[in-house]
Amino acid sequence: METNVQVHDKEFELLLDEDAIAKRIRLMAIQLNVDYENRNPLFIAVLNGSFLFMADLMKEINLPCETEFIKVSSYHGTSSSGSVKDMMGMPANIKGRDIIIVEDIIDSGLTMQYILAEIYKLEPSSVAVCSLLFKPEALKVELPELTYVGFEIPNEFVVGYGLDYDGLGRNLNHIYRAISIEK
């Protein structure tokens, strides 16, 4: 097992190893396969952070489904600004569809609140959020759509498996948490 990693100026220690992540994703997919049986959901992944999660999740989904990707940029360094700068690629075919938003992590929840507001404008028939990670202590808004959570984690900065620290660390196979962090 790998030990600590350094990303930019910070040291990180292992939080979730790749086997634990893969097992959890298989269970999440089983749940989705059951919950959306006989439906044709539209999965919308939020780039960049969710690219590995989305890929691994979709390999375990056996529903007739479609996949789209939106890109949101809002996050700087290790503390959430909560302001969404940009949103690109919202699909046009949302009306009347069962939408599953796939995210890497829900921190303050502000990014997801913004995305949800945009999606509701397009009149979907249902919306659920599926996030690999969730920091309950950091949540600042109500998020009743958050139905599928891989792991609840402490309010600490994490990298790996798609998640970055100022651009680096997305290619790490495991998820690591910052050992010391000035917020």
Query: What residues are labeled active site?
Result: 107
Q: Which of residues 62-121 bind ligand IMP (CB under 6 A)?
A: 75, 80, 82, 103-112
Q: Which of residues 140-159 bind ligand IMP (CB under 6 A)?
A: 157-159
The nearer residue to ligand IMP, 36 or 50, going by C-beta atoms, is 50
Q: Which residues bind Mg ion (CB under 5 A)?
A: 49, 104
**Each residue of 102-130: b (16+ CB within 10 Å) or e?**
bbbbbbbbbbbbbbbeebeeeebeebbbb
Question: Counting Cβ atoms within 10 Å, is residue 3 exposed (0-12), middle (13-18) or buried (19+)?
Answer: exposed
- 53 contributes a contact to ligand IMP by CB under 6 A: no
The nearer residue to Mg ion, 63 or 145, going by C-beta atoms, is 145
Got the DSSP string for 13-48?
EEEE-HHHHHHHHHHHHHHHHHHTTT---EEEEEET
CB under 5 to 8 A by kind: which of ligand IMP, Mg ion, none does 145 bind?
none
Q: Please give the single-letter amino acid code of residue 151.
A: F
Strand-pairing partners, residue 82, are none
Q: How far is the CB of 104 from Mg ion (least distance, A)?
A: 5
Nearest Cα residue to 112 out of 88, 84, 148, 135: 84
The nearer residue to ligand IMP, 33 or 108, going by C-beta atoms, is 108
Q: How far is the CB of 181 from ligand IMP (least distance, A)?
A: 9
Residue for token pair 């075919």: 93
The nearer residue to Mg ion, 104 or 156, going by C-beta atoms, is 104
Residues that bind ligand IMP (CB under 6 A): 49, 75, 80, 82, 103-112, 157-159, 163
